[in-house]
Amino acid sequence: MSKIIRNTHISGEAGVLKFAEYCNRHVSYIIFREVVKNDFGVDGEIELTRINEERKTEPLGEIMKVQIKTVASDNSYIRNEMPNSFEFYPRKEDIEYWEKYKNNGLEVLLVIYDQRIDALYCKRVIDTDLYIAKQNLKTTRKKVSSAIAFHKQDNLLEIGKNDFTIKFSSSFKSRVAFGTKENLQLNFLKYKQYPRLMYMYECKYKNKKAVYEIIEDYEAPIFVLYNSVLYSSVELGGYYASFKSKVLTDTQAKLINYSDILNDKALRNHYIELLNAYLKSFLKTKKLAFQKDYRRFYFWLPKDQESVKITTTTRKRGQLSTKEVVRKYTYGSRTFFRHLALECKHTFIAKEPVLLLQPKYYFTSDGKTALSPKEITKLTNYLTARECNNNYCDWLHFWWSYLSYGSELVLYADPAYQDVKTVQPRSFYTKHLRIALAEYSVMTVDFGIASDKKERKKDIQPISGSSQNLLFHDES
């Protein structure tokens, strides 16, 4: 009798070929290595690639094991099929084998090829799937575990979509791990001291430009002006007596309490604009200019210089370090400058003002003139592509260490504070304004992003003392 090729072999090969075609046509290319012998539970492995700066395909070393199942009839691996979903029941041997790979730091992808409709589905086998399946095997003492659910849209692989890397890149080793305490480093600063009053005056002029035409900068307090109504965080008089007489129609102030500010949208906006003005004035003293089109502060480049360097401290060791905050780049005949920059936004959390910080870049052609968005994309993609979340904590620390004075960041302090050595009555703090921010916060949460299993034990530390395991952690 001649040898017979089983239908299961033919259909199984169809699934492998379909997945191989998907990998071959994906952009960027996915390397698929089929297992040709000793098939003990996987059909192959894949390795992700990227298009590098020279427009060449470069393997990333991110490897995942793949098991492919083909559905050739209604009686096959797919169970409990619904219009938008179906279930797959792995065998005990599958579960045990997948677990061995995952214990050694390798992810496993389960691919289902529905030959009936020529559809390819893919799902990563996660720890939760394995745990539930094993518990079910213990309970039922059967060889078939509990179901792994597939969503027909979310788990669908389509040629031309090119979204495999986004869905399954092994840089995300597993889902969020619950039950593991981690620290989130927050990108907002809470105010330790802030204005509790606003003073409202009738003004002779309708806008700031008209005011500054008749006074000198040193005469003016920080103020906001809308339709001849002037708002200030300090009572005008004394040091600002000249400003008061030249600018105001009615020198008697109307007091606005902080509770009234919180309850009125327009007043909240005026209050935030005052805080923005104090911030802008302070950042100017730190050699930061403001670019209104991109709405960010950036280190300005002095005339006849090609770079700017400052001294700051490192986040992990607290050592002094020199950082280049403005740098010149030359690509062929084209030259441009990259400036470290910062976006700042004020808002309220729990009825208190906070300052949100967003580290950014600012790109110029000559140290001042902004590049167009199209030029930025063309010239700077390579410079920014390698910066991910694990750099974020370092950026926040850099800005804090540069702008602050140890444990706080003082935007404004009335000269009277220089002689204060003891706690003063409330009336003193109402009359003499001081605006200061506390250091960025760390929040403990009961979840985290899992690292590679081999690194997990050393990364996860108990929350105690100054030890920090940051959600955006630095792998270096």
Q: Per residue in 285-329, pLDDT tens?
A: 999 999 998 899 999 999 889 999 998 887 777 788 888 999 998
Is 339 a residue whose pLDDT tops 90?
yes
Whichever domain contains 27, its CATH number is 3.40.1350.10
Q: How far is CA 222 from the centre of its chain?
A: 33
pLDDT value for 171: 39
Is 41 a residue whose pLDDT tops 50?
yes
Query: Which range (89-98, 148-157, 172-181, 263-272) has the least confidence?
Result: 172-181
| Residue where a domain terminates, one of 174, 202, 233 | 174
Report CA-CA distances (Å) from 249 to 198, 227, 430.
18, 13, 24
Residue 473 structure tokens = 């952690």
pLDDT per position as a tens digit, 137-156: 666 555 555 678 899 998 99
pLDDT tier, 133 (very low <50, low <70, confident <90, very high otherwise): confident
pTM given for the model: 0.58
pLDDT value for 139: 63
On whether both 141 and 263 belong to a single domain, the answer is no
pLDDT value for 458: 39
**Mean pLDDT computed over 369-376:** 85
On whether both 212 and 358 belong to a single domain, the answer is yes
Instruction: Name the residue with higher pLDDT: 242 or 171.
Output: 242
On whether both 169 and 194 belong to a single domain, the answer is no
Residue-by-residue DSSP string for 259-275? HHHHT-HHHHHHHHHHH
On whether both 154 and 211 belong to a single domain, the answer is no
pLDDT value for 201: 96
Instruction: Name the residue with higher pLDDT: 90 or 337.
Output: 337
pLDDT value for 205: 93
Is 221 a residue whose pLDDT tops 60?
yes
Instruction: Name the residue with higher pLDDT: 236 or 471.
Output: 236
Is 27 a residue whose pLDDT tops 50?
yes
Is 476 a residue whose pLDDT tops 50?
no
pLDDT tier, 102 (very low <50, low <70, confident <90, very high otherwise): confident
Is residue 447 a part of any domain in this protein?
yes
Query: Which range (151-165, 199-213, 426-440) has the least confidence?
Result: 426-440
On whether both 417 and 316 belong to a single domain, the answer is yes
Is 263 a residue whose pLDDT tops 90?
yes
| Residue where a domain terminates, one of 174, 205, 221 | 174
On whether both 114 and 252 belong to a single domain, the answer is no
Is residue 127 a part of any domain in this protein?
yes
Instruction: Name the residue with higher pLDDT: 184 or 110.
Output: 110
Is 158 a residue whose pLDDT tops 50?
yes
State the total domains in the chain: 2
On whether both 157 and 206 belong to a single domain, the answer is no
On whether both 198 and 166 belong to a single domain, the answer is no
pLDDT tier, 13 (very low <50, low <70, confident <90, very high otherwise): confident
pLDDT tier, 61 (very low <50, low <70, confident <90, very high otherwise): confident
What residue ranges in 146-247 does DSSP mark as E strands? 148-151, 156-157, 176-185, 188-193, 197-203, 223-226, 229-232
| Residue where a domain terminates, one of 174, 209, 231 | 174
**Mean pLDDT computed over 353-370:** 92
On whether both 291 and 148 belong to a single domain, the answer is no
pLDDT value for 326: 95
On whether both 310 and 446 belong to a single domain, the answer is yes
Is residue 326 a part of any domain in this protein?
yes
**Mean pLDDT computed over 15-19:** 92
Is residue 124 a part of any domain in this protein?
yes
Paired residues of 113 in beta bridges = 70, 120
Q: State the average pLDDT for the chain.
A: 80
Report CA-CA distances (Å) from 359 to 64, 118, 276, 282.
34, 47, 17, 17
Which H or E run includes 283? helix 265-285
On whether both 237 and 337 belong to a single domain, the answer is yes
Is residue 59 a part of any domain in this protein?
yes
pLDDT value for 448: 65
Range of the domain at 36: 7-174
Is residue 138 a part of any domain in this protein?
yes
Is 19 a residue whose pLDDT tops 60?
yes
23-30 — which CB contacts under 8 Å span 24+ positions?
25/159, 25/160, 26/159, 26/162, 26/164, 27/162, 28/57, 28/162, 28/165, 29/57, 30/164
Q: Name every residue whose Cβ is closer than 8 Å to that of residue 137 and which is 6 or more positions away in sequence.
A: 92, 95, 143, 145
pLDDT value for 39: 52
Is residue 110 a part of any domain in this protein?
yes
Q: How far is CA 462 from the centre of its chain?
A: 24
Separation CA 53–CA 454 (nearest Å): 31
Is residue 182 a part of any domain in this protein?
no
Burial of 36 (0-12, 13-18, 19+ CB in 10 A): exposed
On whether both 88 and 219 belong to a single domain, the answer is no
